[in-house]
Structure 1
Amino acid sequence: MQLFKRCLVARFSLAIPKFKHKEQPYVKDIPMPKRPKLDPKDPYEKYELVKPREYEFRQALDERHTKNFYPGTTYVAVHKGGITYHLFDASRFPYGKMCSKIAYYLSGKHKPTFRNNEPGKVTDKFIIVNGCNMYLTGKKINYKVLTYHTGYVGNLKQIKFRDLILQKPEQLVAWTVSKMLPKTVYRMDKLDHIHLFRGRFHTFDDVLPQILPHHTDFEYRGSILQDMKEGDDRTLVFTSKPVSQEQIKQDLGDIKQQIMDPSELDNDLIFTPFAERPQKIKLNMTQHEYDKLNRRRKRLMQRYRKYMPIPYRKTIEKADFTKSYVVKSEKQLNRLGLQKIKPLDDDPELEDETTKF
């Protein structure tokens, strides 16, 4: 019997092979398949004759996401005759950030002469080039939708940003900026200061350069601004991502410059932004701030049903001894700081002898 068991075990051990664990390679050692190269032919060639504008737009979409897309200035402001001209390149400046920057400057709060009762006095002008080739990050150009109603029954319509940029880019910029401005009477008047050009060139040749300069090629940048001579009253106010001061002097020569650098303007409160100015610290919270804190606390705690309002801590009143008070309770004495003063007893009423019979 024991011999039979030994033979059975030996038979099964020969039939079942032993499994050997192999060492797994590291991820960095695994050869990754290379991506297939794109067809050298133009994928949007079919749009060239049928829809020439859409053909140029689709070609520009592919060029944006290359590595050579970012060098270059996206925003320049030039001051002349008391008016600041802001030039934006919509093909290289993200659309949302560009509109928010325009809305900020349209409000006029960046100026030290701002007055809240005169919001309509905006003298700045905003010039946007490459309006039909706006830059939207991600897939928003194809999936973002604008919903509007024509006013007739059942006419709720939607249009994609891709189609609206090709058809009416001026309407899209005005709609976006108007949503960022305060809803007052002056809102539509401020939108008149925005000038959008669908191509690369604009009509403000006497103030602004036609093409925004690049950072890498300084000779090309100097040739663009060669019209700005020493006797000109124009002043270069700000350029996005400015290069070093020495390179700017070599390119622009004797042109007057006013590069806004917050690190150099800490001592001068006129030119520093309002957000960076020293603010007054409030020691006591007002009733409005307590209500705001209670609303926020209620939103956080209402799901647990444990909300209790924070009581408003009033400041302690001091008794004015030139006035007379009608004391009705001990709390009123404590609030006025009159705990040690005892109220006088009323005089006993005198008996009227005439009333007796």
Structure 2
Amino acid sequence: MRTVDKTYVIKGKPETQWLLVDATDQNLGRLATKIAAYLLGKHKPTYTPGVPMGDYVVVINASRVRVHESRPETKIYYRHSMYPGGLKAISLRDMLQKHPDRVIRQAVWGMLPKNKLGRRLIKRLKIYAGQEHPHQAQNPQPVA
């Protein structure tokens, strides 16, 4: 007789929390990995692939994230306006000064699935350059 392992799928709506992550002096890649795991719900024992099990994540102090000293000059972010000659490039150093939230958002997006689930999960990520955030009413729990 052949046995088949069944995939566990939670019944009903999964319970979500709000988590608070402080990016001060944290390595960008390791921080993004941790945030992606929280968004996917991999830290929960009821994790099911393809189901939005994760929590909402609020990141504060995004401007104080740490990167290797050679990285700000070598890392370039590209985007295109879809017009001829519309390729735009910005270095990590300039991106951290102008839009530090986008640096973390793009690092986390690179670790999420590129489908409807990933687009739904990235909306649960709230990033702020400073200490203040407007989510006090949700009572986010600090994460080490």
- TM-score (structure 1 length as normaliser): 0.33
Could you tell me which residue of structure 2 aligns to residue 196 of structure 1?
127
Gaps of 5+ in 2: 1-14
Q: Within 5 A, what are the aligned runs for 1:76-87?
A: 82-87=15-20
Tell me if the contact between 2:20 and 2:143 (Cα under 8 Å) persists in the aligned partners: no
Aligned residue among 146, 152, 156 for 2:83: 152
Return the letter of the residue paired with 1:94. Answer: N
Partner Cα distance (2:135, 2:123) in 1: 16
Do the aligned partners of residues 239 and 102 (structure 1) sit closer, same or farther apart at CA in structure 2, a change above 3 Å counting? closer
| 1:130 aligned onto 2:80 | no
Return the letter of the residue paired with 2:16. Answer: I
Partner Cα distance (2:58, 2:66) in 1: 16
Q: Write out the 4+ residue segments of structure 1 that deviate beyond 4 Å after TM superposition.
A: none
When Rg is computed on C-alpha atoms for both structures, the one with the higher figure is 1
Do the aligned partners of residues 90 and 239 (structure 1) sit closer, same or farther apart at CA in structure 2, a change above 3 Å counting? closer
Sequence identity (%): 26
Partner Cα distance (1:112, 1:134) in 2: 30
What RMSD over aligned residues (CA atoms) do the two structures have, in Å? 2.3
Q: Within 5 A, what are the aligned runs for 1:95-110?
A: 95-110=28-43
Instruction: Report the number of matched residues.
Output: 129
Return the letter of the residue paired with 1:120. Answer: P
Partner Cα distance (2:16, 2:81) in 1: 38
Q: For residues 136-188 of structure 1, what are the alpha-carbon distances to aligned partners after superposition, in whole Å with 9 as ceiling and x for unaligned?
A: 12221233211222211222221011111222223332222111111221111
Partner Cα distance (2:81, 2:44) in 1: 39
Q: Within 5 A, what are the aligned runs for 1:318-357?
A: none
Could you tell me which residue of structure 2 aligns to residue 61 of structure 1?
none
Secondary structure, counterpart of 1:87 in structure 2: strand
Could you tell me which residue of structure 2 aligns to residue 181 of structure 1?
112
Tell me if the contact between 2:60 and 2:131 (Cα under 8 Å) persists in the aligned partners: yes
Secondary structure, counterpart of 2:77 in structure 1: strand
Residue 204 of structure 1: CA displacement?
3.2
| Higher strand content, 1 or 2 | 2
Return the letter of the residue paired with 1:131. Answer: A
Gaps of 5+ in 1: 1-81, 209-235, 241-357
Q: Within 5 A, what are the aligned runs for 1:229-268?
A: 240=144
Return the letter of the residue paired with 1:101. Answer: K
